[in-house]
Amino acid sequence: GAVVSQHPSWVICKSGTSVKIECRSLDFQATTMFWYRQFPKQSLMLMATSNEGSKATYEQGVEKDKFLINHASLTLSTLTVTSAHPEDSSFYICSARRGGGNEQFFGPGTRLTVL
Amino acid sequence: GDSVTQMEGPVTLSEEAFLTINCTYTATGYPSLFWYVQYPGEGLQLLLKATKADDKGSNKGFEATYRKETTSFHLEKGSVQVSDSAVYFCALSDTGYSTLTFGKGTMLLVSP
């Protein structure tokens, strides 16, 4: 149990376009989902925390208008990178936590390349 | 703020060798400590955890002891296997498990 999927696993897009990444909890209800960004040979940096049905809380330095997060149901959160630029190229990882639980369950990540 | 420092990799070992990956942390209060593993092409999986000083977390032959006096949580395994090749992340969570702070990760490569 506690499986989290992400789609797509990789995406290549042109500069200026928007890209949506989905994060799903497949066998449990996730009241909280987290979005991380990982640069090569760097740690995972938390971008934002989202609770189902409410606005996401963004970490300092993360542009909320650039990285739109929606957590409309207990099994799905989406991250939309708007007007993507090459510097947005990165590995994006989501995690999900059950209501009342402590452990985060991680998705496999999405590799975004902006040309 | 909270931070985690772990040794840089890659760590290259032969099968059956002893493994140590060092991890130290800085935090206020009494954090919980974790080791996550990321196999190629997969998401992070919780390997083990410890929630208070002197606790030892263990799983799949790996173990780590929460040392408050040295603010460390070193990962050890007595005999590594090729299948242990992966990236290992040390992490901490403040009281209440609100967020995780990760180290940079250490790649382990085990050869037959």
In tens, the pLDDT along B97-110 reads: 568 999 999 999 99
Among chain A, residues having any CB pair with chain B shorter than 8 Å are 4, 6, 34, 41-44, 46, 49, 93, 95, 102-104, 106-109
Q: What is the Cα–Cα distance from B83 to B76, expressed in whole angstroms?
A: 15
Percentage of chain A lying above the pLDDT 70 cut:
99
Strand B23-26, strand B86-93: pairing: unpaired
Residues of chain B with pLDDT under 50: none
Contacts of B41 in chain A (CB under 8 A): 108
Q: What is the Cα–Cα distance from A52 to A74, expressed in whole angstroms?
A: 6
Tell me the β-bridge partners of A34. Answer: A49, A95
**Does B45 reach chain A within 8 Å, measured CB to CB?**
yes
Question: Residue A99 carries which DSSP code?
Answer: T
B93 closest CA partner among A111, A102, A40, A88: A102
Q: What is the Cα–Cα distance from A39 to A53, expressed in whole angstroms?
A: 29
Contacts of B44 in chain A (CB under 8 A): 44, 93, 95, 106
Check CB contact under 8 Å for A104 and B103.
no
Nearest chain A alpha carbon to B42: A108
Contacts of B99 in chain A (CB under 8 A): 34, 46, 49
- pLDDT beyond 80 at A40: no
Give pLDDT, residue B97.
56
Give pLDDT, residue B66.
97
Check CB contact under 8 Å for B36 and A102.
no
Distances (CA, A) of B40 to A39, B6, B108: 16, 20, 11
Long-range CB pairs of A64-69, under 8 A, 24+ apart, other chains included = A67/A35, A69/A35
| Residue A21, Cβ density class (10 Å: 0-12 exposed, 13-18 middle, ≥19 buried) | buried
Contacts of A98 in chain B (CB under 8 A): none
Q: Which of A34, A104, A108 sits opposite B41 (nearest CB)?
A: A108
Give pLDDT, residue A18.
97
Check CB contact under 8 Å for B43 and A106.
yes
Residue range A54-79, pLDDT digits in tens: 889 999 999 999 999 998 899 999 99
Determine the residue type at A6: Q
